[in-house]
Amino acid sequence: MGLEQVSGAKAFGGIQGVYRHASRETGTDMTFSVYVPPHEDGARLPVVWYLSGLTCTHANVTEKGEFRAACAQLGLIFVAPDTSPRGEGVADDPDGAWDFGLGAGFYVDAAQAPYAAHYRMWSYVTEELPTLIGAHFPADMDRQSIMGHSMGGHGALTIGLNHPDRYRAVSAFAPIVAPSQVPWGQKALSGYLGDDHAAWRRHDAVALIEDGARVPALLVDQGEADGFLERELRPDLLRAACAAAGIPLELRLQPGYDHSYYFISTFMADHLRWHADRLR
């Protein structure tokens, strides 16, 4: 698989790169970023996946996430994919809405036209891109974890719950925990997957837990001043599901914090330390 380096810069002794490749899953060029911390020759390092939220690309966390110092200290590779396919011929929301289509792939493999042709973010993130990372970077693919924000928090939770043997740690910032029950999720799941609500459950963290999916523990940070908290995010539903299932959930409600990268960057190092403890 060919890989083009778009940019690279030294940071905290490691290299922050941005890369592009032709994706077989999406049928488009895809761009992602990777931070590789300083390491000894021949070392294989654990990988933390970060999935971004609505309207974002790889660039939002790369530029604003403030993860590099912690990753350099902890010896973690940090991978940030894009949130959807892009380019000529890729379908967007017909009304130009910001919460569906480009930048809003919701980490599913679409089954509905016209989105099924390119919107295969589930397979891209869980299969194609890990193969690429393992082939081109000093990554120990037996030590992976996953985190994300908002729509990406939804993706991290659902991917982690569907692959508990692959990801040793799962955490999220302000995740959409029950997309089947909130407007953002209902719009995305119906638009990409159609009316098959059984298919929706595989992409709903609360439903997955209700159906028997388990992980050893979850860490979630949520800003109490987040304008999307009560309508779209509903961490109370995740708390109830985890309590019923016996999944240890550390749900930290952070007074005064909103939905932005000021919030994410404040608690990023905490999450990376939590991941590192489980990746050793």
Q: Which residues contact 180 (CB under 8 A, 6 or more apart)?
A: 186, 189, 197, 200, 201, 204, 206, 207
**pLDDT tens-place string over residues 98-109:** 999 999 999 999
Q: Which of 109, 135, 147, 113 is closest to 271 using CA atoms?
A: 147
Residue 121's identity, in one-letter code, is M
CATH superfamily of 4-279: Alpha/Beta hydrolase fold, catalytic domain (3.40.50.1820)
Q: If DSSP states are collapsed to H, E and C, what string results for 105-129?
A: CCCCECCCCCHHHCCEHHHHHHHHH
In DSSP terms, 271 is beta-bridged to: none
Residues recognised as catalytic: 150, 226, 259
Alpha-carbon gap, residue 171 to 16, rounded angstroms: 23
Interatomic CA distance for residues 237 and 79, integer angstroms: 29
Which strands form 29-36's sheet, in the order they lie side by side? Answer: 4-11, 14-22, 29-36, 77-80, 45-51, 139-149, 167-173, 218-223, 249-254
The domains of the chain are located at: 4-279
pLDDT recorded at residue 2: 86
Average pLDDT, the chain: 98
List of E strands, the chain: 4-11, 14-22, 29-36, 45-51, 77-80, 139-149, 167-173, 218-223, 249-254
Looking at residue 70, its pLDDT comes to 99
Under the banding of pLDDT at 50, 70 and 90, the label for residue 81 is: very high
Mean pLDDT of 117-132: 98
Beta strand pairing status for 14-22 and 249-254?
Answer: unpaired
What integer pLDDT is reported at residue 27 of this predicted model?
98
Q: What confidence score (pLDDT) does residue 1 get? A: 60
pLDDT tens-digit readout, 158-191: 999 999 999 999 999 999 999 999 999 999 999 9
Alpha-carbon 227 to chain mean position: 21
Looking at the predicted structure, is the pLDDT value of residue 227 above 70?
Answer: yes
Residues 6+ positions from 178 with CB-CB distance below 8 Å: 185, 204, 205, 206, 207, 234, 237, 238
Residue type, 112: Q
pLDDT at 67 (0 to 100) = 99
